[in-house]
């Protein structure tokens, strides 16, 4: 039932006819072509199931969502930093690059006596198994099943080791080649010129030894960052403090858990200048979508709130369902009263790509439309996105003067990093939005910022890095 496209009835048929007990069983049956002939299945559904399983299995088989490991990483870093002799403890690997999922956790510690630190780390109370232990490295499996690699290095190698273990592997290889071209040897212990160490204490030192400025970890994917660094053309990446507002949040009126006043107060307390209250529209019945009457009442409540607020504006918005034919779920006279109209797909996921793309473009044809939310609909490790031609959608948005969202929920991160970069390249601005369903949910925005940085976005590429008056001008079509 966790597989997208399967309901209870079909799950039962799979179990009764094919003896499917697990997701892995289903993957095997579908790959063997045994699913298509079952009643109410067919070849198209078998293919969709296979696609869906491909998106699910890698996460099921070991990769974990970034947010799900953060607490563990924080605890282990505190544990490490309190061990005798440890002067630094830092996370590296895909975790530090802020990838949306991580295969394992890589930690780096600086200490003069590696063996003592290795022994103490392996003896952590959450250790289930020790896979490897020496004087410079330990690999353990935690009780949660998560693997942790720890490397212990001396102070003078800290920068070189941090570069090396942050990766990516492809980034490292490119760096090493740059070094080779200068007659230097670059490894995890330092940078060497004919056996003499010339750098390694800090990351900046290592990059400088190959004539590069410091490259932020989120960019280290061998996607042109070294060339950009060489040309002194690295982007000035967006930071959390660049954001002046949040353009997507929910209240108790639809499927949120906090009251309107509390959401607005929490957004103001974060230091924002504005926040868009964007509850669901009526078609999203599972999310208690608002009727036109209820939305109208909410708009009046927001007006009253704003009367009492200084230096902050609650924006009138809605997350409006884009219906199957591309029409919007609220009438234009109601949409015209909103500051921000967000369109989203919550139904009819299974349309062919051309139809899905047209559906969205048609929705954007409405001059009241502003932002296309979570553009692919994927849920990381749970379901792939619907079939859609995102390039066409992005070009369509640019032509029409609308925008795409980078939904910051760690289960979505939608747009992904690669599509953020495509958007930037074509001059299309992206809204980084929390999609908060409670006051605490506003803090998820930082995952969106991480992803935006991986997508090379600067403050200027982000819609909500602007004050309301600037934003208003951008939204006007």
Residue 173 partner contact from Ca ion, ligand DGT, none using kind-dependent CB cut-offs of 5 to 8 Å: ligand DGT
Q: Give the one residue of 93, 114, 200, 381 binding Ca ion; rule: CB under 5 A.
A: 93
**Site membership for Ca ion, residue 200 (CB under 5 A):** no
Minimum CB–partner distance for residue 106 and Ca ion (Å): 5
Minimum CB–partner distance for residue 220 and ligand DGT (Å): 8
Cβ-closest position to Ca ion: 93
Cβ-closest position to ligand DGT: 167
Which part of the chain contacts Ca ion (CB under 5 A), choosing from 16-24, 88-96, 234-242, 275-283? Answer: 88-96
**Site membership for Ca ion, residue 188 (CB under 5 A):** no
User: What's the gap between Cα 471 and its chain centre?
Assistant: 24
Minimum CB–partner distance for residue 166 and ligand DGT (Å): 6
Minimum CB–partner distance for residue 218 and Ca ion (Å): 15
Q: Give the one residue of 104, 156, 348, 350 binding Ca ion; rule: CB under 5 A.
A: 104
Which part of the chain contacts Ca ion (CB under 5 A), choosing from 56-64, 91-99, 428-436, 467-475? Answer: 91-99
**Site membership for Ca ion, residue 416 (CB under 5 A):** no
* Residue number, 149 or 339, with CB nearest to ligand DGT: 149
Minimum CB–partner distance for residue 419 and ligand DGT (Å): 20
Binding site for ligand DGT (CB under 6 A): 93-94, 99, 102-104, 106, 164-165, 167-169, 172-173
* Residue number, 143 or 177, with CB nearest to ligand DGT: 177
Minimum CB–partner distance for residue 327 and ligand DGT (Å): 42
Minimum CB–partner distance for residue 80 and ligand DGT (Å): 17
* Residue number, 99 or 277, with CB nearest to ligand DGT: 99
Is the preceding peptide bond at 214 cis, omega within 30 degrees of 0? no
Residue 165 partner contact from Ca ion, ligand DGT, none using kind-dependent CB cut-offs of 5 to 8 Å: ligand DGT
Residue 200 partner contact from Ca ion, ligand DGT, none using kind-dependent CB cut-offs of 5 to 8 Å: none
* Residue number, 59 or 398, with CB nearest to Ca ion: 59
**Interacting residues toward Ca ion by CB under 5 A:** 93-94, 104, 106, 149
């Amino acid at each position: 039932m966790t597989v997208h496209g399967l309901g209870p009835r079909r799950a039962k048929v799979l179990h009764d006819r094919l003896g499917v007990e697990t997701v892995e069983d289903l993957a095997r049956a579908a790959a063997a072509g045994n699913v298509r002939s079952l009643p109410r299945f067919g070849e198209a559904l078998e293919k969709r199931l296979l696609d869906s399983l491909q998106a699910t299995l890698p996460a099921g088989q070991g990769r974990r969502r970034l947010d799900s490991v953060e607490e563990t990483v924080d605890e282990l870093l505190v544990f490490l930093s309190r061990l005798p002799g440890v002067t630094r403890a830092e996370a590296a690997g895909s975790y530090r690059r802020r990838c949306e999922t991580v295969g394992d956790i890589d930690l780096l510690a600086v200490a003069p006596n590696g063996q003592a630190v290795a022994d103490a780390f392996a003896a952590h109370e959450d250790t289930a198994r020790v896979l490897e232990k020496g004087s410079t490295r330990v690999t353990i499996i935690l009780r949660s099943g998560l693997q942790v690699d720890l490397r212990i290095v001396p102070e003078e190698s800290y920068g070189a080791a941090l570069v090396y273990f942050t990766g990516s592997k492809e980034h490292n290889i490119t760096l090493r080649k740059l070094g080779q071209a200068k007659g230097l040897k670059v490894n995890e212990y330092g940078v060497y010129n004919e056996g003499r160490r010339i750098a390694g204490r800090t990351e900046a030192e290592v990059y400088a030894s190959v004539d590069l400025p410091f490259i932020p970890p989120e960019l280290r994917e061998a996607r042109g960052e070294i060339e950009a660094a060489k040309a002194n053309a690295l982007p000035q990446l967006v930071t959390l403090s660049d954001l002046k507002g949040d353009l997507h949040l929910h209240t108790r009126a639809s499927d949120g858990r906090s009251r309107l006043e509390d959401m607005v107060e929490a957004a103001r307390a974060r230091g924002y200048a504005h926040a868009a209250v964007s509850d669901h529209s009526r078609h999203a019945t599972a999310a208690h979508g608002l009727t036109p009457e209820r939305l109208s009442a909410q708009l009046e409540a927001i007006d009253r709130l704003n009367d009492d607020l200084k230096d902050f504006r609650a924006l009138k918005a809605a997350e409006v369902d884009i219906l199957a034919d591309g029409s919007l779920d609220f009438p234009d006279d109601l949409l015209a009263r909103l500051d921000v109209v967000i369109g989203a797909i919550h139904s009819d996921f299974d349309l062919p790509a051309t139809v899905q793309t047209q559906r969205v473009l048609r929705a954007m044809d409405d001059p009241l439309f502003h932002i296309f939310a979570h553009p692919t609909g994927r849920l990381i490790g749970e379901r792939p996105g619907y079939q859609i031609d995102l390039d066409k959608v992005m070009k369509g948005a640019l032509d029409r003067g609308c925008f795409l969202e980078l939904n910051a929920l760690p289960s979505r991160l939608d747009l992904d990093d690669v599509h953020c970069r495509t958007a930037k390249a074509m001059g299309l601005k992206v809204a980084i939005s929390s999609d908060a369903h409670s006051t605490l949910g506003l803090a998820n925005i930082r995952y969106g910022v991480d992803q935006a940085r991986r997508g090379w976005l600067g403050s200027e590429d982000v819609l909500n890095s602007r004050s309301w008056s600037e934003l208003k001008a951008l939204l006007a079509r």
